[in-house]
Structure 1
Amino acid sequence: MTSIDLMRMGLKNLWRRKLRTFLTVLGVIIGTSSIVVMLSLGFGMQEAFKGQLSRMGSLNTVNIHKRYGGYDEMSSGRNTQEAKLDDKAILNFKNMPHVTAVTPIVEVYGMIKSGRYTAHTSIKGIDPEAMEYFDFNIGEGRLLQTGDNLNIVFGGGMKYNFYDEKAMRRGRYEEPDIDLMNDRMVLTFDMDTGRRPTMPGESIKKPKYKDYNIKAVGILEEGNWETDYGIYASIDTVQKMIEEKEKAEGNNQKQNRRAQQEYERIMVRVDDIKNVANVQQKIKDDGFEAYSLSDMLDEMNKMTGIIQAVLGGIGAISLLVAAIGITNTMVMSIYERTKEIGIMKVIGASLKDIKKLFLFESAMIGLLGGIAGVIFSYILSFLVNKFSPAFGDFMGLGGETKISIIPIWLVFAALGFSALIGIISGYYPARRAMNLSALEAIRTE
């Protein structure tokens, strides 16, 4: 018998017992859709956690801090010589494999005045040439460029930091009417503006801080918790501001910051999230403290992996019941078709052809159930995502987050797995059909 003959005969046999075939396929549909939907919920959680972390910062960025000697280093027996976060360390980081950009971060706190509005903020110095590599998504204007002096870039949420100080004293809050790109801005480190003596005869001697006329050249996109509430300027400009601030406060200790500067923090950009762990470990081996949001993502992925295993196990039980149903259907089919099997053997059908016939029928039941199960899974996934935004808000994942995600590879895996379940379930009945005696089968009524 040719393969086409076997396929035609198998489909005819399945169609001849439509109700039984439908009920058996229905069991596979339920089992397949249970597994796919359960796993899709786990994938949805992973993407939601990843999106939540990305709002806190870049997943490809490693933050490096100075390591201070402690119990871990003493117990490990390693050389505890102090590692310095200086320009030499920056050069070393740049030469590491998979590192695309490195920048130190210098930070100081100050106050911005614009008309009657005031905002307290952090001023972060960054290398303008490296800024474009660190996921600073511009919403308006441009990023920093080489040569920018008092030009700055505002965080996406900085407009909410401004307030009318006089209105606040009167117990009234007004929405600030401010244009960050065009309004005149003055940056100062004089945080005690407007303070009056609290005791009779008290005199207030304040440092004479310098005022800086700053100009906004860009505003970052809103939604990144790490960058929303701060301003960014060239690192050379911020270092100069810090020197002038210390001088105004009476710190006359002269030092060449460029030659002796030890940075509090350095950011390293890695080309791919898969390489973050290796780069981070190499930096730790050099004696620095390094962390990244990928650490949190790994922990979350482990948690969602456990959840997926539990949910997938629940769905697998349904598919196991469906496999038993396929086996039962095929065994019953043998009892009903005993005479037919005997005639096939007498007229010359080989044992291999009989085995193929029953395996094909069981595989078709599994495959048809898998196809219908995948379609049903997409319908359930659509309904879950459409009618459950409140669940995303409750979990803190955002109302627009997809709770159920079905990747394309899962579709093909489900189809292949359901067909394989059908073949495995039909193996015993096929062997039973092969071992039937032809003469006894013909005599059976």
Structure 2
Amino acid sequence: MQFKDQIDFIKQHMKRNKLRVATTILAATMGCAFLIVLASIGFGLHQTITDDVLDNNLVTEIEVAGKTDGETELSSADIPEEELEAIRKMDHVAAVVERNQPDADTQIIIGERNTYSRAILSSMQEEKKAGFALSDGQMPTKPTEVIVGFHLAERLLTEEEMKKEADGEEVQGFAGNLIGQTIELKLTPYTNEGGDAAEASSWEFVVTGIAKEPAKDWMTDTSVYADSSWAPVFNEELGLEQGHKNILVYADDLQDVGGITNALKEDGYYVYSVTEELGAMSVFFNALKAGLIFVGTIAVLIASIGIFNTMTMAVTERTREIGVMKAIGAKPKLIRKLFLMESAAIGIIGTVLAVAIAYGISVLANWLIPIIILSSLGEEDMGEISIVISTIPWQLVVIASAISIGVAMVSGWRPARKATQIDVIQALRQEM
């Protein structure tokens, strides 16, 4: 029997039992669709949280908190410069940035306007290598030039505007362009050695650039970024010791972050990078997705009962037909193949319909559920928040299809085997 004839043979039987076959396909479709939709929730939540982590972190950044050699513990401020230079020479390291923050209140003044800020002292050359992004202007080329945070201008208020803001009125802040403006940086130590109020000191700087807007709309950046050469000047003038110091290592690419992080750990450094957080989350979500796929597979197995019953009924109803086929020379292998093909056809049709339905449900869930969440919170706009409820990667489709079609064929195996064991004489004696 040619393959085309085998297909026609299967079609004829499925047409004769349309209702039973249709309900069996429906069961297979529901089981497979449930598997895909259920597992897609795990993939969607994983994507949502991963995107949130990546949005809130510079993905190539590795923070060095300190170091140990087994006996001595060093904070980031005590790590020698020669060791930082060795890190700079590591493969795939783009830059090593040392950011100092004076242990003092920071105030920015321009004319009658002022605001509290924070002074960050860093090497502008290393910041440039690290990819420090500007929304306007250019990087400083002189020690007397600085970069200011994206929101500094709107937070520069007069005394009258501060009072209005305190009363709930809307204020504008500095209306002009800060680039080219001279600002006064006023530092006031928190306390002096006697615990009395400390005297403030001021320095003037020229603004050459404005930092890029933070990734999230709830973040506010009013910082002032100045050259690291000012650190000893500020400390000496204010009588301060070394302030807060952060060491940040930047990789060439996200794929290099893990390797650099592991290399630094082996050398005794205490480090943190986004890969640490993503790694921990991946373990949890991989376990969650495996669990959801397992639960969904149970639904597919329940649907397989319908396929088993359908194929068993098919063998019973076609006993005479099978006897005729055996009488004219059909081999048991061919008969088994025909019934397995029929059960596989039910599984394939059900899987194709399930995939289409699952994608439709996924799109609907991603559109409707965020609206429901907004309504419950009394919000009208999601703003920067992005929630993915369900996502269906191709790997999930492949896994679900393999499970669904595989279970369908296994369900049809015993009825197909039973068909090959039918006695020819008894089958021919059976009335039509």
Match of 1:220 among 204, 212, 218: 212
CA distance in 1 between partners of 2:145 and 2:14 (Å): 76
Alignment pair present for 1:407 and 2:404: no
Q: Runs of 5+ in structure 2 lacking a partner? A: 190-195
Shift of 1:405: 1.0
Shift of 1:433: 1.1
Name the amino acid aligned to 1:123. A
CA distance in 2 between partners of 1:272 and 1:182 (Å): 31
Shift of 1:340: 1.0
Q: Runs of 5+ in structure 1 lacking a partner? A: 193-202, 254-260
Alignment pair present for 1:247 and 2:236: yes
Matches within 5 A, 1:29-428: 29-67=29-67, 78-80=70-72, 85-108=79-102, 110-131=106-127, 134=130, 136-138=132-134, 140-141=135-136, 144=139, 147-159=141-153, 161-169=155-163, 171-172=166-167, 174-178=170-174, 179=176, 181-182=178-179, 184-191=181-188, 206-207=199-200, 209-224=201-216, 228-231=220-223, 233=225, 237=227, 239-250=228-239, 264-390=245-371, 399-428=385-414
CA distance in 1 between partners of 2:198 and 2:17 (Å): 98
CA distance in 1 between partners of 2:390 and 2:309 (Å): 34
CA distance in 1 between partners of 2:88 and 2:267 (Å): 14
- Superposed CA offset, 1:371-429 (max 9, x none): 11111111111111111115666899964322111112322333333222221211111
Shift of 1:60: 3.0
CA distance in 2 between partners of 1:411 and 1:50 (Å): 21
| 1:196 paired residue number | none
Decide whether aligned partners of structure 1 residues 142 and 85 sit closer, same or farther in structure 2, where only a CA change above 3 A counts: farther
| 2:26 paired residue number | 26
Shift of 1:38: 1.3
CA distance in 1 between partners of 2:182 and 2:395 (Å): 53
Superposition RMSD in Å: 3.3
Decide whether aligned partners of structure 1 residues 123 and 398 sit closer, same or farther in structure 2, where only a CA change above 3 A counts: same
CA distance in 2 between partners of 1:278 and 1:390 (Å): 41
Q: Find the residue that maps to 2:118 and give its secondary structure.
A: strand
Contact 1:110 1:120 in 2 (8 A): yes
Name the amino acid aligned to 2:136. G
Identify which range, 51-60 or 390-399, moves more after superposition. 390-399
CA distance in 2 between partners of 1:96 and 1:306 (Å): 35
Name the amino acid aligned to 2:199. K
CA distance in 1 between partners of 2:15 and 2:163 (Å): 83
Q: Find the residue that maps to 2:56 and give its secondary structure.
A: coil
Name the amino acid aligned to 2:419. A
Decide whether aligned partners of structure 1 residues 272 and 250 sit closer, same or farther in structure 2, where only a CA change above 3 A counts: closer
Contact 1:151 1:233 in 2 (8 A): no
CA distance in 1 between partners of 2:63 and 2:138 (Å): 21
CA distance in 2 between partners of 1:142 and 1:17 (Å): 75
Contact 1:65 1:288 in 2 (8 A): yes
CA distance in 2 between partners of 1:204 and 1:377 (Å): 67
Q: Find the residue that maps to 1:388 and give its secondary structure.
A: helix
Contact 1:124 1:230 in 2 (8 A): no
- Superposed CA offset, 1:236-258 (max 9, x none): x2x2322222232246x9xxxxx
| 2:192 paired residue number | none
Name the amino acid aligned to 1:47. Q
CA distance in 2 between partners of 1:188 and 1:353 (Å): 89
CA distance in 1 between partners of 2:417 and 2:223 (Å): 75
Identify which range, 346-355 or 388-397, moves more after superposition. 388-397
| TM-score for both structures, normalised by structure 2 | 0.83
Shift of 1:142: 5.2
Contact 1:123 1:230 in 2 (8 A): no
| TM-score for both structures, normalised by structure 1 | 0.81
Contact 1:284 1:290 in 2 (8 A): yes
CA distance in 1 between partners of 2:298 and 2:41 (Å): 17
CA distance in 1 between partners of 2:93 and 2:373 (Å): 35
| 1:258 paired residue number | none
| 1:195 paired residue number | none
Q: Find the residue that maps to 1:222 and give its secondary structure.
A: coil
Name the amino acid aligned to 2:82. K
Alignment pair present for 1:15 and 2:8: no
| 1:257 paired residue number | none
CA distance in 1 between partners of 2:39 and 2:383 (Å): 18
- Superposed CA offset, 1:266-319 (max 9, x none): 222234545534422321222221112332222333333343334333322211
